[in-house]
Amino acid sequence: MTKNSFPDNLDGLYKQERFLREKAIEIIQNKPKLSLHSRAIESAMSLANIVVDYPEEDENFKVIKMLSIRMFNALGASLTLIFSGYHQNSGMIMRDILETVFLMDLFKTDRTAIERWRFADIKTKRKDFSPVAVRKALDERDGLQTKKREKAYKMFSELAAHPNMHSQHMLRPEKGGDIVTGPFMEETTLEAGVSELGRIAIQAGEIMNAFLLEGWDRDNIRACFALTKNEWMETFYK
């Protein structure tokens, strides 16, 4: 290898990632429930696109557009990492999506919070808009004491985001087996990741959709999301 050439090892890693992607897609195509999760992810990403194109240029709504772009990118990145065999790293991004969903959920019922968030100083951000403050506000709004939001966020933090002993579970192709270096593809792990991302995508789509006026649509994207969401709910939450 010459000094200015691209390293062969990195090229080989990329080829392995491409091979794992093909394997993942083949598995998904043979599992109707995983195909449904994939359609939910694609539908939510399409919805993010029309939020960005929504004819509203108010500075507060630009925040919603920015957060929708963030979720589009995160959904795509998380899925790419799953397909490439980097399951723990995909989980890190899922936590980011979940955090964005919670923040937008707060904005959905308190539009004044958008402007406060835009101009918040460090102290205000920590007090009113930190992940824990947002979850607490949402639980109080909904009258919930089960702390489901906290449990979901904590799961991704322990399994994927923070380096601790729990994170080793996402580095094992098989339960109880050895951890491995580099990407891998195993059906159970793939199913877990795509299922979680599909569930989060439904939440993301619901929140983004809530900021659009009823009756407005483009290319039937909102209608398609509604159909996919209904099919998803009937399949997984009968």
The 10s digit of each residue's pLDDT in 98-110 is: 999 999 999 999 9
Structural domains counted in the chain:
1
Whether 25 and 84 have beta carbons less than 8 Å apart is answered as no
**Residue 214 resides in a domain:** yes
Which CA distances in Å does 128 have to 79, 147, 204?
Answer: 31, 18, 21
Which CA distances in Å does 147 have to 134, 143, 158, 230, 233?
Answer: 12, 10, 16, 25, 22
Output 212-219 pairs: Cβ under 8 A, ≥24 positions apart. Answer: 212/50, 212/51, 212/54, 216/54, 217/50, 218/50, 218/53, 219/50
The confidence score (pLDDT) of residue 170 equals: 73
- Tell whether the model's pLDDT for residue 4 goes beyond 90: no
Whether 72 and 49 have beta carbons less than 8 Å apart is answered as yes
Average pLDDT over residues 36-65: 96
**How much of the chain exceeds pLDDT 90, in percent?**
80
Q: pTM here?
A: 0.92
| Structural domain boundaries, residue 134 | 12-236
Chain-centre distance for alpha carbon 6: 32
Average pLDDT over residues 209-216: 94
Q: What sign does the CA torsion over 149, 153, 154, 159 have?
A: positive
**Residue 1 resides in a domain:** no
Confidence grade of residue 75 (pLDDT, cut at 50, 70, 90): very high
**Residue 174 resides in a domain:** yes
**Residue 84 resides in a domain:** yes
pLDDT per residue as tens digits for the range 25-43: 999 999 999 999 999 999 9
pLDDT per residue as tens digits for the range 123-172: 999 999 999 999 999 999 999 888 889 898 888 888 777 777 767 777 77
**Residue 168 resides in a domain:** yes
Query: Quick one: which of 65, 95, 93 has its CA closest to 77?
Result: 93
- Tell whether the model's pLDDT for residue 199 goes beyond 90: yes
The rounded mean pLDDT for the chain is 92
Rounded to an integer, what distance in angstroms lies between the CA atom of residue 63 and that of residue 68? 8
**Residue 109 resides in a domain:** yes
Rounded to an integer, what distance in angstroms lies between the CA atom of residue 37 and that of residue 32? 9
- Tell whether the model's pLDDT for residue 194 goes beyond 80: yes
